[in-house]
Chain A
Amino acid sequence: MAASVMIVGVGGQGSLLASKLLGAVLVNEGYDVKVSEVHGMSQRGGSVETYVRFGDKVYSPIIAKGEADYILSFEKLEAARFSEYLKEGGEIIVNTQEIDPMPVITGAATYPENILEELKEKGVKIEDFDALKVAKQAGSAKAVNIVLLARLAKRFAISYDKWLEAIEKTVAPKFVEMNKKAFELGYNL
């Protein structure tokens, strides 16, 4: 198996933890893995993207347009922004939560309506659902990242327990149970 996964969202939504967990599981499975993320300025509520690539041998740490097997989007608009990175036949998994960017807040732009429907009409495979609601059921709005990761995990031939193991090893002890719950709810959705 080899794949390129793009994780996109809004700075502060926890995409770094999702990529960290994904990376840990893939290394554990014996894959060559590269993860690329950008820190600093872009974390302050800006649009953020993380690339995760794995296979027998990975050279480039970044994903170019038309190369992503999966786009895991933490926010609706961000899925549309990065849709051209999706490979032909790839899939977008998206949290339908809307977070207004500053140009929308100031009234300089409007939040696009029916953006996912538009992509679906163009033949893009999309799984969209309210991950925030699921995260809240697990006990924290912050667990959106784990809920989405679980949806991605479902598509990989890696056993369920390996993911839970990675959560136990990576997440701070007091958040392990909540995150495992979020993973379980997401996985069995």
Chain B
Amino acid sequence: MKKLMIGNEAVSRGLYEGGIKVVSSYPGTPSTEITEFLAKYDDIKSEWAPNEKVGAEVAFGASLAGVRSACAMKHVGLNVAADPLFTLSYTGVNGGLIVCVADDPAMHSSQNEQDSRHYAIAAKVPMLEPSDSQEAYEFAKSAFDLSEKFDTPVILRMCTRVAHSQSIVEIGDRVEIPDKPYVKNGAKFIMVPANAIKRHVVVEERTAKLKEYAETCPFNRVEKADSDIGIITSGTSYQYVKEVFGDTVNVLKIGMPNPLPEQLILDFAAGVKTLYVIEELDPIIETHCRNLGLKPIGKDLFSPLGEYSQETIAKAFNKPEKPTVKADTVSPARPPMMCAGCPHRGLYYTLAKNKITVIGDIGCYTLGAQPPLSAVDSTLCMGASVSGLHGFLKANSDAASKTVAVIGDSTFMHSGITGLVNIAYNGTNATVIILDNSITGMTGHQQNPTTGFNIKGDPAGKVDLESLCRAIGIRRVRVVDPYDLKACDTAIKEELSVNEPSVIISRRPCVLLKYVKAAPPLAVDKDKCRSCKKCMSLGCPAISFKEGKAHIDATLCVGCEVCKGLCPFGAIIKEEN
């Protein structure tokens, strides 16, 4: 059957047909849909884990027990899961284990554009890299056999353009793989030095075998042409090369970027006059070629920054530019922003008004950094707000009265808890604000341990944030409604002034949740509006300034009334009818 699928759906279909039984992941753009699609199959145990490390370890446990398993994450998630990954390389697997990782060149929705291929090299595990949905499906399906044959976890590397592009996939049927028995084997699975020393030898032997396999494996292929030019490429770059050159140049398409073949590359290079390596991000294949004594043209012509396209390649090869028409008037930028009625807005407004330094974190609420609120001072990685605030206050304890950390409910579960433990243990007067909107927002509404529901939407265990914070040792824990600006102001001022750590839980569900019903839109009484623009300081997309007065777009307004509470002249009213 032929079906148009995004790469992530194709991965999930491949894993499904390959006999996967357990998947555990933390959502992260552009990897999230892999696990969401797997959750649609009833014969797979699918879970959202609190973070990627837990997800990888759950996959490890399932593999140990004898079934095929996987975990999926975005590139920076692999940093979190790196600890289990590196030693999983030593233990190897029982049931096949696939680590799906999605890189985000051009940072459409990420804080950096690291290249995950470094992890495959460093952890000494094979990596597969598809270039479209059909390959994503095929590679995911055959990755299990590869994993079991070579007794190793396999990394399946996606990138945004493969993960989120739809192309046609010819799908098949699920293979029923009998569970392998669990047999106690300490020498393989107890990684204490005496055993790990021996397993490292196994890892090196495995790498040698994988290198040999890479020479003839079905993931790498040569496309011959009558040309002096040879291009080695992989992933989505392959599609751009084909778009520009069709079948007119020699192409070595790498589908297994680790370990890379040697003889295959040397033979390919020997058959061409000029050798190019075209790969997004870091020069991994290029460096490998140089180590083989070749002199390819690579990063001296192609940038290590951002995404490529057919245009990038056409330009590099001096192809004539396509004619374009551009308006002379500059289009103002349209950055993403917090939605109308977003519960984070009221809290951020209060922080900005009081000129508080805000150590931020990763999620929708990172958008509080945008003007006009400009309420965030730093964003590093998941969980860094809480631990970062502690460090900030250790360096300058006087800052405790004007500095806070903000972190979402899901991010707090992910890696904020340990930071809070550190605050309680090592003692700073920190004020941590948990922005609890009852969902993992930015990645598109995934459940998490605080929401009370699992990945299938069924009732599940629910972490009680207040009790958790108290159990950690924080005595001052209070809850505010971020729509209530006065309550926010009082809570923030009081908690910043006390001489002990405190947690403020700013609680209100995301307005985009289906069960959240919008109130009737508000309107501006033009006679009462004195054009002070105080409402505009909220940065609400529903409020604009038209013909000298504030104006509320009734199609966007959800009636949260935060602006109504702010207007000094009572000009914002509930619309009649």
Contact = CB atoms under 8 A, between A and B. Distances in A.
B322 interface: yes
A186 interface: no
Contact of B332 (A32, A59, A104): A104
Contacts of A40: 29-30, 108-109, 442-444
B196 interface: no
Contacts of B336: 11, 41-46
A88 B324 CA distance: 7
Nearest to B540: A105
Interface in A93-113: 100-112
A102 B370 contact: yes
A104 B326 CA distance: 21
A106 B322 contact: no
Contacts of B243: 59-60
A119 interface: yes
Interface in A65-87: 65-67, 77-78, 80-81, 83-87
A24 B239 contact: no
B108 A41 contact: yes
A33 B240 contact: no
B364 interface: yes
Interface string B238-270: 011011000000000000000000000000000
A45 B164 CA distance: 19
Contacts of B337: 44-46, 102
A102 to B, nearest CB: 5
A35 interface: yes
Interface centre among B29, B108, B333, B539 (most CB of A within 10 A): B333
B168 interface: yes
Contact of B327 (A42, A46, A61, A115): A115
Interface stretch (B11-19, B220-228, B418-426, B541-549): B541-549
A104 B330 CA distance: 13
B354 interface: no
Contact of A36 (B32, B165, B364): B165
Contacts of A27: 2, 4, 168
Interface string B154-184: 0000001100111110000000000000000
Given A33-B167, A45-B541, A106-B372, A118 B108 contact: no
B339 interface: yes
Interface in B430-446: 442-444
B328 interface: yes
Nearest to B245: A59
A42 B314 CA distance: 27
B30 to A, nearest CB: 7
Contact of A106 (B236, B324, B539): B539
Contacts of A39: 29-30, 32-33, 109, 164, 444
Interface residues of B, number: 59
B4 A24 contact: yes
A102 B374 CA distance: 13
B335 interface: yes
B160 A38 contact: yes
B536 interface: yes
A59 B334 contact: no
Contact of A61 (B239, B323, B331): B239
The secondary-structure label for the interface of chain B is loop
Given A77-B332, A102-B370, A106-B372, A66 B166 contact: no
A42 B339 CA distance: 12
A158 interface: no
Interface in B284-312: 309-311
A34 interface: yes
Greatest chain A CB density within 10 A among B335, B336, B555 is at B336
Contacts of A107: 536, 545
B161 A112 contact: no
B577 interface: no
Contacts of B324: 65-66, 83-86
A64 interface: yes
Contacts of A78: 331, 334
Contacts of A115: 327, 329, 331
Contacts of A36: 161, 164-166
Interface string B318-351: 0001111111111111111111000000000000
Nearest to B32: A39
A58 B444 CA distance: 29
A52 to B, nearest CB: 9
Residue among B240, B331, B367 with the highest chain A CB neighbour number at 10 A: B331
B334 A38 contact: no
A127 interface: no
Given A62-B309, A80-B327, A33 B442 contact: no
Contacts of B461: none
B371 interface: yes
Interface string A154-174: 000000000000000000000
A44 B331 contact: no
A119 B324 CA distance: 12
Interface string A117-132: 0110011100000000
Closest 9 CB pairs between A and B?
A66-B322, A40-B109, A40-B29, A46-B336, A109-B332, A64-B311, A61-B165, A101-B334, A41-B109
13 contacts: A27-B4, A33-B166, A36-B164, A41-B109, A42-B108, A61-B166, A62-B309, A101-B335, A104-B544, A107-B536, A111-B332, A119-B327, A122-B325
Given A40-B29, A44-B339, A58-B167, 9 more contacts: A27-B168, A33-B4, A37-B164, A46-B336, A62-B309, A64-B322, A81-B334, A115-B331, A122-B327
Interface of A: 10-12, 23-24, 27, 32-47, 58-62, 64-67, 77-78, 80-81, 83-88, 100-112, 115, 118-119, 122-124, 141
